[in-house]
Amino acid sequence: MLKQLSINNYALINSLAIDFSEGLSIITGETGAGKSILLGALGLVLGNRADLSSLKDTSQKCVVEAKISITDYNLQDFFEEVDLDYEAETIIRREILPSGKSRAFVNDTPVVLSVLNQLRTRLIDVHSQHQTMQLSDATFQFSILDALADNSKRIASYKRGYQQYNQLKKELLRLEEEQQNANQQYDYNLHLFKELEEAKIQADEQEDLEITLEKLNNIEEIKLNLSEALEISINEEIGIQNLLNTLESRLSKIANFSKEYQEISERVVSVKIEIDDIVAELETANENVDFNPNEAEQINDRLQLLYNLQKKHYVSSNKELLVVFEELSQKVAQVISAEDIINQKKKEIQEVTVKLDKVADLISKARISAIPKLTKELQTLLTDLGMGNARFSIKIKPSKSYFLNGKDELEFLFSANKGGNFGELKKVASGGELSRIMLSVKKVLSENTQLPTIIFDEIDTGVSGEVSNKIAAIMQQMSNNMQVIAITHLPQIAAKGNNHYKVYKKEINGATTTNLKQLTKEERVVEIAEMLSGKNISDSAITHAKELLN
């Protein structure tokens, strides 16, 4: 409930702070006194757009602050979701600086306007005669019916399934699009895949083939140099082996004479062993040198195949070709297995659909069961409000489509006159009738759901007499379950309030300001008497006012 509203430097208001309480609070005042300014300030703190025209003194900032008790609204999860500190008495503040910049705070934490707008729907419902078009909105109509049907838990369950259903449908669509694209490329990808598969590419193959081809292309020079190296090594007269044998023989004869000679001799022996090993490898290499024209041609062909494949796939090595091969393998496999994946996804959707249909059916049955009760309650209330011939025709039509709140389509028709045809509310009901219908709807909702604070802005326009007493009685009944604030011109309604506030203008130093004050018992008598008879209050008006208050 709204506990306090303070306004500084807004429109015609210099500064005011007013406390509100539970039950039914009444706000009255002459036309033009500034009641709309109060609603404008409240709208500002709840997220309405602002501009410099809101400032009374453009050199000073405008501040509007509302203290709201939110204990009964189950908003802990919402506060956690938007990263705000939860307080049982939450303070919302809105500031407009002289520069035109606007700032908003919830419990001293800066917030964006979208957060305030989300809070607005949970905290305060401002209703005027001009806002009755909401009655023709299907979502609002469903909310009325679902409140009586006690569908909140079923709809919450349905919404979870509906979200899962939509997610699975998106995934299926993506898979089908991918399959379609993949199918278009499948034949080409399969050709490329088989081409690389048949090539049997190995990661280091190209380097080995290039080395072998280099040897074959220089076979004559290799053969010549190997032969000459062998000749230098094994010639009986000047060969390295023969000379080393002689050197070893000479040193072995003096090795025992000194450690120095011994070490030199051993080193020569080591060299001789290494040379013998080298000569053996030279002989093997020389014997293996054999030019095979077919081998060179085969290697050339193989390398050309690899070069062509690399060029075709815009890569520069076999390792990169193998990556391309793996990618093509996956694309081909994806097409082959896509049908199974898609069928599995369709199966998941079908399973969710079965569950969703069951919950939707429960929602629909509860709605159908609640229609007679809703129709009866609305018609009874409207009869009390002077619309004895009002009739509703509410029908649920099952649909194959899934909506956010179930699978129903709603026909919510109205007839105001006896024997009249049923039609859409906005087409067949007048402004005054819509106001009384909305009041009746809010009364029903207040008894079946947790409504926020509701403010009725001159919803009683165009009615009088006994109907005004009935409107006042309905507001009183609603105030048993919630905080109700009514801005009214009717004394019959003003007299029914638990608290009474007056909006008035005052001129100070040539400047007009709007003020708000809570009336005492005596002041209420005068205010209601003035509402009855005008500025010239008669004794009978005073008497009548006291009777109304009693």
State the pLDDT at residue 291: 66
Same domain for 216 and 272, yes or no, is yes
Bridge partners, 69 (sequence order): 89
Q: Quickly tell me which residue has 């909006």 as its tokens.
A: 503
Cα(388)–Cα(120) distance, integer angstroms: 35
Cα(542)–Cα(531) distance, integer angstroms: 10
Same domain for 332 and 307, yes or no, is yes
Domain-embedded: residue 361: no
Domain-embedded: residue 393: yes
State the pLDDT at residue 131: 66
Same domain for 501 and 545, yes or no, is no
Full residue range of the structural domain in which residue 540 is found: 520-550
CATH number of the structural domain spanning residue 451: 3.40.50.300
Same domain for 183 and 304, yes or no, is yes
Domain-embedded: residue 117: yes
Cα(18)–Cα(7) distance, integer angstroms: 9
CA 468 from chain centre, in angstroms, equals: 45
Domain-embedded: residue 358: no
State the pLDDT at residue 215: 78
Same domain for 443 and 546, yes or no, is no
Same domain for 115 and 220, yes or no, is no
Same domain for 41 and 87, yes or no, is yes
State the pLDDT at residue 129: 64
Domain-embedded: residue 62: yes
* Three-state secondary structure string covering 117-162: HHHHHHHEEEEEHHHHHHHHCHHHHHHHHHHHHCCHHHHHHHHHHH
Q: Which of 307, 338, 369 is the last residue of a domain?
A: 338
> Per residue of the chain (550 residues), what is the pLDDT tens digit?
899 999 999 988 989 999 999 999 999 988 878 888 898 899 899 988 887 778 888 889 999 999 999 988 889 989 999 999 999 999 999 999 988 889 999 999 999 999 998 888 889 888 876 667 778 889 999 999 999 999 999 999 999 999 999 999 999 998 888 777 777 777 788 888 888 888 888 888 888 888 877 777 777 788 888 888 888 888 877 788 888 888 888 888 888 888 998 999 889 899 989 988 998 988 888 877 776 777 778 888 888 888 899 898 898 888 899 999 898 888 777 777 777 888 899 999 999 999 999 999 999 999 999 999 999 999 999 998 888 899 999 999 999 999 999 999 999 999 988 888 899 888 888 888 888 898 999 999 888 887 789 999 888 777 777 888 899 999 999 998 889 999 998 999 999 999 999 999 888 777 888 999 999 999 999 999 999 888 888 889 999 999 999 8
Same domain for 531 and 495, yes or no, is no
3-state secondary structure of 289: coil
Same domain for 389 and 511, yes or no, is yes
Same domain for 124 and 253, yes or no, is no
Domain-embedded: residue 345: no
Cα(144)–Cα(412) distance, integer angstroms: 11
Same domain for 542 and 499, yes or no, is no
Same domain for 102 and 86, yes or no, is yes
Cα(396)–Cα(392) distance, integer angstroms: 13
What is the tally of structural domains in the chain?
3
Residue 72 DSSP code: G
Q: Quickly tell me which residue has 């709201």 as its tokens.
A: 68
**Count helices and strands in the chain by DSSP H and E runs:** 17, 15
Are 265 and 247 within 8 A, CB to CB?
no
Domain-embedded: residue 421: yes
CA-nearest of 387, 375, 381, 497 to 432 is 387
pTM, whole model, 2 decimals?
0.68
Domain-embedded: residue 49: yes
Cα(374)–Cα(326) distance, integer angstroms: 66
Q: Which of 278, 312, 338 is the last residue of a domain?
A: 338
Helix (H) or strand (E) holding 304: helix 293-312
3-state secondary structure of 425: helix
Q: Which of 272, 303, 338 is the last residue of a domain?
A: 338
